[in-house]
Homo-oligomer: A and B are copies of this chain.
Amino acid sequence: MPNPSESTPQPLGPDEESLVRALGQVMHVLPRAIDADMVGDRQLPLTEYTALMNLSETPDRRMRMNELAALCHLSLSGMTRTIIRLETQGLVRRERCEEDARGWNAVLTDEGFARLEESWPSHLAAVRRRFLQHFEGFDLAQLARAFERAGTAESTD
């Protein structure tokens, strides 16, 4: 790439172009579609589902706000609000953290766990049908690695 990067950069090739466009579309359509499938079924929006999901995967079904926010790809304040939403539905409870009195644990209630158990089949089905189905015959592991690289935000250099 001999020329200075800002003057006349090389435009995207047609395949690159259509991949980028298609990704844009997927990023827009997919969450809504999955959301719609679930909401239609068990009334659990994707963000809240993800929070419950992550909580359920810990040994004692509890997690610090910090960590949960990171796993849900949410800002800390966004997480606070999500947890409040879940708390008012009785799906999650908050407990002060013992070893650090500033901290809070979001704790999955039995009701929350039950709700998650109800929801996950339809979530799973939606993910399969809306997404994975279209990647049969691909090397999923290789693909996953590429996405992991892309999803690891290196800051502007």
Nearest CB of chain B from residue A147's CB, rounded to whole Å: 4
Q: Is the CB of A73 within 8 A of B11?
A: no
Chain B residues lying within 8 Å of A124, measured Cβ to Cβ, are 9, 11-12
What is the 8 Å Cβ interface bit string for chain A, positions 18-49, against chain B (1 contact, 0 not)? 11111111111111110011001000000000
Chain B residues lying within 8 Å of A40, measured Cβ to Cβ, are 156
Nearest CB of chain B from residue A54's CB, rounded to whole Å: 11
Chain B residues lying within 8 Å of A18, measured Cβ to Cβ, are 140-141, 144, 148
Q: Does A134 touch B at the CB level, under 8 Å?
A: yes
Q: Does A127 touch B at the CB level, under 8 Å?
A: yes
Chain B residues lying within 8 Å of A132, measured Cβ to Cβ, are 12, 16, 19-20
Q: Is the CB of A121 within 8 A of B25?
A: no
Q: Is the CB of A6 within 8 A of B122?
A: yes
Report the interface size for chain A: residues with CB under 8 A from the other chain: 55
Chain B residues lying within 8 Å of A101, measured Cβ to Cβ, are none
Chain B residues lying within 8 Å of A21, measured Cβ to Cβ, are 144
Q: Is the CB of B27 within 8 A of A148?
A: no
Q: Give me 25 A-to-B residue pairs in the complex whose CB atoms sit less than 8 angstroms apart, sorted by A's number.
A: A6-B121, A9-B124, A11-B124, A15-B140, A15-B144, A19-B135, A19-B141, A19-B144, A20-B132, A22-B145, A24-B50, A26-B147, A27-B31, A28-B151, A29-B73, A29-B151, A29-B152, A30-B151, A33-B153, A130-B153, A131-B150, A134-B147, A134-B150, A138-B143, A138-B146
